[in-house]
Each structure stands twice: as structure tokens, then as C-alpha cells.
Structure 1
Amino acid sequence: MDGPMTIPNPAGGPQRAAVAFDARLDGLIWLAVKGFLLSIVTFGIYRFWYVTDLRRFFWTRTAVAGSPAEYNGTGKELFLGFLVALAILVPVYLVLFGLSVAVPAFASVSVVVSFVGLFLLGQFAIYRGRRYRATRTLWRGMRLGQDGSAFAYAARAGGWWLVIVLTFGLAFPFMRADLERYRINHTLVGTSRMTSTASGRSVLGPFLLIYLLALGPLVGVGLAMLVAADFSLPTDLMIPKPGGNPGDLIVNPAYDGSTIGLLAKIGIGTLVLCVPAALLLVPYYRARETRAFMAAARLGGVGLESTLRARQFYWPYFVYALSGLGVLLALGIAATLLAAVSQSTGIHGLYALLILVYPVVLLLFGALYVRQVQARLWAAVATTTAVVNPGELDAILASARAPGSGLQEGLADALDVGGSLQIGF
């Protein structure tokens, strides 16, 4: 990477410095292949070292105001933290299971208790995991940090999700903004504290677009069904599918030709079409949210600006899908040729080669995901971000803060809420 690139400002406003990212990515494919293979032969244990290698790879190739970041976490810390977290969680699971067996009446309650408890524990673990990553990240020799309370963060998240349920999901962008403010307001760079003015209103429009696309047509069909049924829907409108799996339902044939039967079928079709269409807008929302939350973050007199566009979030997944289709097409051609050779030679053992190909395909998809999705998303967020007033970064002082314990992220790994590579903040 070259030195700091200053973005000219002909209007005479504040100076801006670009965030640079080395997009050559030499060695990334080998890193992914090695991590995948060693994770298999070690029954998943090596993944802690693989995650650490990935973070170090991306951190060191990202330069803020001309200075690259550093990541000095270790796989051993993550692994030991994971083991300690398991030692805490396993007894909890055993106690809940024992109570369900000893007190049958508690069995139904234990499901709710487990769900709520694990959700809150997961939020606690997410915050603690971020604290570990922050204290293992350095810039210009200054260690990042995070204070605040993981208990308070978990309680905050739990309260917001209750509000989301009560508002039928409409409070979601406000929850995202509130949790973002809590995280950023407790983030430290050296001895300086970051602040955030993230607002739910700034991302309400993109969220409502998804919300209305997913629920608007369904609500419309539902109201039409209520009117057609004189606000008394028949209890036998949906019946189990003959010969289907448990839970498979169909519209009762007795209502064929009726308005309510037709609307029920339209409702099923609407569900099949609208929910996937709404999910396709999630990258659009994430891009808008990232841009808005970046602009809301400050470090004293230093700010951030983002020009991130939704297409930069869609493109990596599009390339990954095309690459995946190419792999599957090649596999299909190979299978066809093997079948032809087996029939002509009578050597049916060639089919066994397809079984050996399966882990190779998984390996290819894993490596492609890291290279085509994670690397492109990281590059998109980094290279569309500019530092406003970068000269004031020189006033930041290093702190004597010690690095965090691997236990802080071990719980997140044990609950599978950690994630290998966090894009953005």
C-alpha cells in the first residue's frame, strides 16, 4: 500500500484522507484452503487459528490515514476461551435438562427459559467478543479498547426485541441505531473515546421498503380474506397435506371455487414470492445502514464519511453465485463423463470418485466465499470510507490498556454468535 492519500477539497472545507486496502490478496486462497483442511483433520479445533489468520490478513492490509492496522490476537487464546465457555455452558444445559426430566411440568417452561436465556447470553457474548477484538487491534501502536457493560448491552438488546415484537418489527432500525450508539460510545482508540449519533430515522426508509414488500401484500390478502369470510375465518381452511410430512398444509379442497379458497391460494403464492424478494433487499439495507452509521461516528474532531453503494454489497454475492454455478457445472460434466466411462468399460467403481469429490467441492466453495464475498465486502467498506480532519489523529495518545482475554470471545464461539470476520465496525 502507498502512503496516505489526501482527498482534495476545492471548496476549502476539512481535509479528508482515504482508507486504503491492498486488493492484491496474495496468499488468501492458500490461507483458506489450509484453514479448511486443517480444520477437518483436527475436528474443528484449528478453526480458531484459521479465524486469527484471516483477521490478521485483512487488518494488516487496511490502512487508515496511511497507517496500517495490526491484529495480535492468537488462536490459542480463542481456543482456551472456547473451552472455558463450554465448561460454563454445559452444566447450565445439564441443569435445564435435569429439571425437565425431574419436573415434567417444567418441560414446557424450560423451552422458553432456554430460548430467552440463550438469547440474552448470546448478546452478552457478542459484546464481550467485540471487546476482545478491539483490545487485540492496534493502529499506529495504539491499542483499541471497549468499556461499558456486556450485561447492560444484553439487557438493552432484550428490551429492544420485546419492543420489536410489540410493534410487529417496526422498531428494528431504532434498535440497530441504539445498540450502535452503545457500542461506539464505549469504543476507545488509545486514550480517546469515540462517539456516535446514529439514528433509526436515518435507515427507516430502506427498512420500510423491505417491511412493506414482505408484509404489505400479505396483510392486504389477509384483510381481503377476513372481509370475504365476514371476519370469521373457517377453522378447516388449511388441512394437512395427504401423504406429506408433518406440518405440511394445503388449502382444503372443499373451498375450491370459493372466494376465500382463491384468496388463500393467492396468500400462499404471495408468501412464496414476497418473502424472498424482501430478503433480496437486505444487502441494500445493510449498505445504507453501514453508510449512515459510519457518518455518525466521531473521534473527537475526526469524523468518517462513506460513499458505499448497495451494488457494492450485491456484486460479491453475484460473483460468488456465478463461481458456484461454474463449479457445479464442472462437477455435472465430470459426473456425466464418469457415468459414460463406467457404462462402456463396466468399471462401476468410478462412481466412488464422486464421493471423494464432495469434500473437494466444499473446499472450493469455502475458498470462493472467503475470496469472492468476504474480501470484496471488506474492500468495499474500507475503500469507500474517508477520514475527515485526519490531522487531528496525531493528537491521540496511546494508553496502557492491557489486551483482553480470549474468554471474552470464547463464549461467542461456544454459542455460535461470534463470526469469523466482522465487516465494518
Structure 2
Amino acid sequence: MTDATAPTSGETLTFGQTLKSSDFVGLGIKNGLLNIVTLGIYSFWAKTATRRSIWEKVSLNGEAFSYTGNGGELFRGFLLGMLALFAPYMAVVILTVINKLFMLLIFPLYIALIVALGAAVFMAFRYVAGRTRWRGNRFQLMGSPVKFGWSYLGCFLLFCVTLGWFAPAMSMRLSGKLWGSLSYGDKKLEWQRSAKENLYGPFTLAWLVGVAGYVGLIAMILSSMPTQPTGGVPDFAFIGRIYAFMLVYILAATLASAWYYAALMRAVVGAIRVDDARFAITVKAIDLIVLSLTNVLILIFSLGFLLPVVEARSARFVLSRLSSTGKVDLSNVRQAPPSSGADEGLADALGISTF
């Protein structure tokens, strides 16, 4: 049976990219040196320059994207975000000095912080969408960051109550609220999750490795406590064993979680719809492992200077594996309204890494 909502005419979406790591080496060195000279203040302009360089090398149906954000608005947004975060906490500290009963406000503030974390994710996504253009039209994210923040809080509480088992459902639920609220101009994307992708199978492996690591670390510490010297003199052999255990644990957790994150990527991309267009990404666990390990090595040996290279490699990784079937009618797309330039500030103030 033919879908009555499918467009009778339109175009198939074909993604392209000309991203080369060598093109971003100079940018990385420039950004790194200017960050040192400005004590990190240039990072907002560095992020903008990296995004603009990546966007212009990414195309859809042969036409490049463009990024219209600027470092000044990111910096101003960061200052506003810092003010919004720390003003309430400073007020509670001052009030607590006056009367200890005001300490009761600490718990509501922590709840508000989790809501703010969710709102920051939404606003950062909205900022990048609003500063991205294709064929002259900008993207937009509809909805309320406050509502998304409360949804984030609810998912976080369920994550804690279930000892992490709610993580796959949490990821899909929040991803749906983001991608399902995104539009290209006034052409709305849809979110329709398929039961085809099993997330809890690979997640179980990652969860078991994580639990085993915590149990092993606690057991190692408890078993070594009776043999520790008194007087505050550290047992360097014991510290060495802890570091070796943590290194093995991090490596094992990275390898085990790769299957889950690969499945999660396939599930998220596969749930996105635009008219009759469907999307898919061919990513396997080994692909993520190789990408992650090589990116980490690049950052370590370059002392972080080649961060733009890592971001370009990650973008190329996704785009080279992304495909689309079906058609979408883009003939009557109307321009979306501009978004706030301060949207990403709260995420920067919270230290949330955004692309």
C-alpha cells in the first residue's frame, strides 16, 4: 500500500564531504596558540572557526552547508550562562551565613542544576541548528528548553533508580525530543522509532563490564587496606596497581561499550524521517573503537592542539557512512525565524562539550 503522505515528487538526499585531516592541522595550531595567549578566551572563536571550516566541506545534493555563528555571541552567552548558574548558588551561600535554615535550599538547587543541564543540551542543539544554513534556509528547533530540562530530570531519576538500566530508553527518548522537534525552514522532521534495532543486548555487555570494574576496584582497595603503612606514607606499589587496574578497566569499558554506541547510532539515525525520506548509517563497533583510539592518540601526542583534526575526522566518519532512501519535497520550504545567539552559553558554562 502506498503511503498517502509521501510526496509524489521531490529529491533523494545524498550526503557528501571533502573533509581531509591535513586541512585542519594549521587551524588546530592557530587555535591552540591563541588559546594559550588569551588564557582560553579565544576558545569560543576557535570553536566557530572549526565549525565553519567543517560545514563548508559538507554538502547535501551537491550544495554545501554554511555556518553563520560567531565567537562573540558564544562568549557573551557563556558569561550569561555563568551568571545564571552561579548567582542562585552564591545567594544561597550568603543566606546560609545569615540563617542556617537556608541550607534546605541546597537540595532544590541540585534538582534545578539537573534541569538546567537538560535545558543546556536543548539550547546548544537549537543554537547549532539555527546557525546552520543550506540553500540559504536555516534550520530551527521548536519547543521549550525548560520542558526538555524536566524530561531530562525524569529520565535521570529513572536512570538512577534502575542502576543505569534505563540508559538506552533515556537516550532514545531524549533523542526523539530533539530530532523530532527539528525543522529545515518550515519542513519538519519526524521521529519514528523502529523496533528493529536491539539496544539492550549490547548494553548488557557494557553494563556488566562497568559493574565488574567497580566491584574489582573496591575489592582491591579493601583487600589492601590492612597492609597499608601507617603515618601517612603512601604505598607506591599499591598506587601503581590501582593505576594499572584503572587503565585496563577504561580500555575494557571502551571496547565493551562500542557495541552499544554503534547500535545506538544506528537506532537514532534510523528513526529520523522527512516526508518519504529514510536515513541509515552503517557503523560497527570496530569502526567506533578505531576512531576513538586514534582520536585519543592524536589529542595526546599533539597536546590537544589538533582538536579540529579530531572533530573533522569524526564528522567524516559519520557522513561517509550516512545514506538516505526515498524522496522529500523541498520546493516550498520557507525560511525559519532567527534563534538566540546566547543559546549555547549555558552549555559552555556547564562544561558540556558540543560539536
Shorter chain as normaliser: what TM range?
0.7 to 0.9
Q: Is the 8 A contact 1:185 1:194 kept in 2?
A: yes
> How far, CA to CA, are the matches of 1:34 and 1:215 in structure 2?
42
Q: 1:92 to 1:313 in 2, by over 3 A?
A: same
Query: How far 1:379 moved relative to its partner?
Result: 0.7
Letter in 2 for 1:294: V
Letter in 2 for 1:384: R
SS of the aligned residue for 1:130 comes to helix
Letter in 2 for 1:403: P
CA offset digits 1:345-388 (Å, max 9, x no partner): xxxxxxxxxxxxxxxxxxx32233432x3222211111100121
Match of 2:255 among 265, 280, 299: 280
SS of the aligned residue for 1:392 comes to coil
- Residue of structure 1 equivalent to 2:287: 312
CA offset digits 1:375-413 (Å, max 9, x no partner): 222111111001212x424335132x2321221111211
- Residue of structure 2 equivalent to 1:409: 344
RMSD in angstroms over aligned alpha carbons?
3.5
Query: How far 1:311 moved relative to its partner?
Result: 2.5
CA offset digits 1:189-224 (Å, max 9, x no partner): 1111111123686322221110122226878999xx
Letter in 1 for 2:51: R
SS of the aligned residue for 1:202 comes to coil
Q: 1:236 to 1:199 in 2, by over 3 A?
A: same
Q: Does 1:73 align with 2:64?
A: no
Q: Is the 8 A contact 2:299 2:307 kept in 1?
A: no
> How far, CA to CA, are the matches of 1:369 and 1:31 in structure 2?
9
Q: Is the 8 A contact 1:59 1:68 kept in 2?
A: yes
Output the TM-score relative to the length of structure 2. Answer: 0.82
- Residue of structure 2 equivalent to 1:367: 305
Alignment of 1:15-414 (within 5 A): 17-25=13-21, 27-104=23-100, 106-107=102-103, 109=104, 111-198=106-193, 202-215=198-211, 241-243=228-230, 276-323=251-298, 327=301, 364-371=302-309, 373-389=310-326, 391-395=327-331, 397-399=333-335, 401-414=336-349
SS of the aligned residue for 1:370 comes to helix
Q: Is the 8 A contact 1:143 1:398 kept in 2?
A: no
- Residue of structure 1 equivalent to 2:240: none
Q: Which has the higher contact order (CA 8 A, sep 6+)?
A: 2
Q: Is the 8 A contact 2:44 2:74 kept in 1?
A: yes
Query: How far 1:85 moved relative to its partner?
Result: 2.4
Q: Is the 8 A contact 2:11 2:329 kept in 1?
A: no
Letter in 2 for 1:129: A
> How far, CA to CA, are the matches of 1:393 and 1:58 in structure 2?
26
Query: How far 1:307 moved relative to its partner?
Result: 0.8
Query: How far 1:275 moved relative to its partner?
Result: 6.3
Letter in 1 for 2:146: F
Letter in 1 for 2:34: L
Output the TM-score relative to the length of structure 1. Answer: 0.70
- Residue of structure 1 equivalent to 2:4: none
> How far, CA to CA, are the matches of 2:261 and 2:231 in structure 1?
38
> How far, CA to CA, are the matches of 1:236 and 1:142 in structure 2?
62
Query: How far 1:285 moved relative to its partner?
Result: 2.3
Letter in 1 for 2:267: A
Select between 155-164 and 315-324 the one with higher mean Cα deviation. Answer: 315-324
CA offset digits 1:235-265 (Å, max 9, x no partner): 999679544879x9xxxxxxxxxxxxxxxxx
Q: Is the 8 A contact 1:21 1:62 kept in 2?
A: yes
Q: 1:276 to 1:236 in 2, by over 3 A?
A: closer
> How far, CA to CA, are the matches of 2:231 and 2:305 in structure 1?
38
Q: Is the 8 A contact 1:196 1:298 kept in 2?
A: yes
Q: 1:97 to 1:195 in 2, by over 3 A?
A: same
Q: Is the 8 A contact 1:178 1:199 kept in 2?
A: no
Residue-pair matches, total? 337
Q: 1:126 to 1:52 in 2, by over 3 A?
A: same
Gaps of 5+ in 2: 1-9, 236-243
Q: 1:31 to 1:322 in 2, by over 3 A?
A: closer
CA offset digits 1:279-317 (Å, max 9, x no partner): 433333222211221111011111111112222222233
SS of the aligned residue for 2:76 comes to helix
Letter in 1 for 2:26: W
